[in-house]
Amino acid sequence: MKDQQPGSLLSAVVLLAAMTPFVAPAQNLPPPTDSETVLQYKNRVAAAVPESATRPVSANLAEVPKQVAAKTTSVAAPGGFPERVNDALADFIPLVAFAVNSVSTADDKKSVTVAFNPLPAGTYGALSASATVSEPQVFEPVAQAINQAVRDTQVNVIQSGIDDFGDVTWSVTYGYQPRASSWEKAGTLWGRDYSLYANLLQAAADRIVSDFKGLATGTGFNSKLNRAFPEKHGAIDTLTFGEIKSAIRDARLQEFDFDSYVECLRAQGEELANLDAATRALHFEALPALIDNQPQLTLTTTYRDPNKFVGQKTYGVGISLETGNRNFNTVLRTYRLALEKGNVAVINQPTPVDVKSLGKAIETVATETKKGTQTKFVLALGFQHHDQYDLDYAYQTSATASQRFVAAQSPETVSLHLPASDEWTAKLQWSTLFLSTTVAGGNPRFDLSAEYLGVHNDPARQDRTIGRVSYTVPLQGGGSIPFTLTYANRGEFLGQQNKLLSAHLGLSWKIDTPNTKGSGS
């Protein structure tokens, strides 16, 4: 390869250093010691570069929600039911591993969900399927139909005959997820799957590196070191400066200016530190929280086909809309506004990402915690149809010794026939955090929720409507005072109240100690 002259290399280094926009050079860095390796010195230079104003925005809104951090794709191994199901799945999943996205156990350990890889469905969406294996429980009407004297025993007998896969619910969800081809063309985006935004994020990362001018400054030195130290097999970063000096003294290294080499390494370290600073200026660390606030529109169908003792076949369909006001779309709007203010004609034509404006937009949206409101909205509508249920089950009332007071060998039969039934559900939730108002170091919060359940042909249940409005004022020390107004169409849904409307003034607090976390009201 063609070696470059150290003089011209040094000029290039100085020029590159002068062009660096983000961080100042590391001044007064002690020279390398004889025992220090080249790699150690490079890392020392990088670490010595002063921190710029591109520190992460981790303190406030950018803090990633705990549920995101808790996401797992590994199989949990708790005791009991989920452990048995996971063991069984572990034998089966390798056969379909290409299709399985994740296996997760519910917090209450009563169900295990297998999620399959999403499939694209047209230009604007994706289909994702899952199977939830719930711990089978004997259908309550069946249990109630058994003679009370032997009910517990018979329920246990029935329960022992149901295998762990006796209550499986299959679901297929369509998510509206239009993909954006570029930052400039992205309109309002939907969906909370990070992969939907990966191409945009990678375009920004690409732009940063393409702005990086490279490190050709070290080529001449590296070639000479490689020839002088063939025993290193190319790994010249493992050389110590003592070895290099010794090689110069022994004339093993010729035409090698040690001081210029050290200066070159220092300039390289600074240039790479600039690259690092440019990356951090994008504030990618704030994006997960913003993506988790993106609008999400899903249509879900479910099918449950349980063991005959567990319940009715059920078919369901539901639609859900969720959104938050500080999200990735806000970043897109802020970014485009910045470009338009800068008279950058980018709309409808792909142009390189303006990383400075983008980083500023992300930082602005993620850190504006003292302005306006932070709102979340959920609307869900659902319909379920339960098939007709017929069960005839014969048992003996003297089945076990514990029932010695019951007449021996008395045959009884459960004959249960439930008609097909339907249910409609609707749920609305709205919460607003008033960021511009501060009380006791916190922000007041407004919550509105409404829930409706309409049943048809199900004598065991009744229609239900509950509405709740709440305004919560924070207190010092993590406590709060919630003012709540609740409406219900039936008194039993108001707890101890027997009126249709109740008001509640409470006090709630959180207790955080090194070993316990709790709350009460």
Partner 1 sequence: MPFMGTWVRESAGKLKFVATFSDNVLVANLHVQDTLGGDTVGQKSYGQTELSKGVSLDLERGHYYVLVLFVFPVSQSHGCSAKVVMTADSDKLFDGTCNATVDQSNFIFQLQVD
- Please tell me whether residue 351 binds partner 1 under the rule CB under 8 A: no
Of the pair 237, 387, the CB lying nearest partner 1 is at: 237
Choose, by CB under 8 A, the member of 10, 23, 38, 346 that binds partner 1. 38
Choose, by CB under 8 A, the member of 34, 140, 206, 492 that binds partner 1. 206
- Please tell me whether residue 501 binds partner 1 under the rule CB under 8 A: no
- Please tell me whether residue 385 binds partner 1 under the rule CB under 8 A: no
| Distance in Å, CB of 330 to partner 1, minimum | 18
Q: Which of 37, 103, 142 is nearest to 413 (CA)?
A: 142
Choose, by CB under 8 A, the member of 5, 33, 43, 413 that binds partner 1. 43
- Please tell me whether residue 52 binds partner 1 under the rule CB under 8 A: no
Binding piece for partner 1, criterion CB under 8 A, among 34-42, 247-255, 317-325, 447-455? 34-42
Rounded Cα distance between 154 and 327, Å, is 54
- Sign of the Cα torsion 41, 46, 48, 49 reads positive
Q: Between the CA of residue 409 and those of 142, 150, 397, 416, what are the distances in Å?
A: 21, 12, 6, 22
Of the pair 38, 361, the CB lying nearest partner 1 is at: 38
Rounded Cα distance between 214 and 207, Å, is 14
Q: Which of 276, 347, 211, 294 is nearest to 47 (CA)?
A: 276
With beta carbons less than 8 A apart as the criterion, state whether 444 and 475 touch: no
Rounded Cα distance between 100 and 128, Å, is 11
Q: What dihedral angle (degrees, nearest 10) is formed by the CA atoms of 404, 408, 411, 412?
A: -30
| Distance in Å, CB of 114 to partner 1, minimum | 17
For the record, the structure tokens of 224 come out as 């000479």
| Distance in Å, CB of 161 to partner 1, minimum | 39
Choose, by CB under 8 A, the member of 218, 306, 311, 318 that binds partner 1. 218
Binding mask 7-26 for partner 1 (x = CB under 8 A): -----x--------------
Of the pair 352, 482, the CB lying nearest partner 1 is at: 352
Binding piece for partner 1, criterion CB under 8 A, among 128-136, 145-153, 223-231, 312-320? 223-231
- Please tell me whether residue 213 binds partner 1 under the rule CB under 8 A: yes
| Distance in Å, CB of 319 to partner 1, minimum | 27
- Please tell me whether residue 367 binds partner 1 under the rule CB under 8 A: no
| Distance in Å, CB of 298 to partner 1, minimum | 21
Rounded Cα distance between 360 and 358, Å, is 5
| Distance in Å, CB of 256 to partner 1, minimum | 14
Rounded Cα distance between 300 and 279, Å, is 39
DSSP 387-445: PPEEEEEEEETT-SGGGTTSPTT-EEEEEEEE--EEEEEEEEEEEEEETT--BTTB--E
Binding piece for partner 1, criterion CB under 8 A, among 200-208, 420-428, 438-446, 480-488? 200-208
Of the pair 1, 408, the CB lying nearest partner 1 is at: 1
Which of helix, strand or coil describes residue 229? Answer: coil
**Which residues have a Cβ under 8 Å from the Cβ of 13 and sit 6 or more positions away?**
217, 263, 264, 267, 268
- Please tell me whether residue 284 binds partner 1 under the rule CB under 8 A: yes
Scanning residues 227 to 246, which ones bind partner 1 (CB under 8 A)?
A: 227, 233-238
With beta carbons less than 8 A apart as the criterion, state whether 479 and 509 touch: yes
Residue ranges in contact with partner 1 by CB under 8 A: 1-2, 4, 12, 38-39, 42-43, 46, 56, 58, 62-64, 68-69, 71-74, 194, 198-199, 201-202, 205-206, 209-210, 212-219, 222-223, 225-227, 233-238, 272-273, 275-276, 279-280, 284-285, 287-288
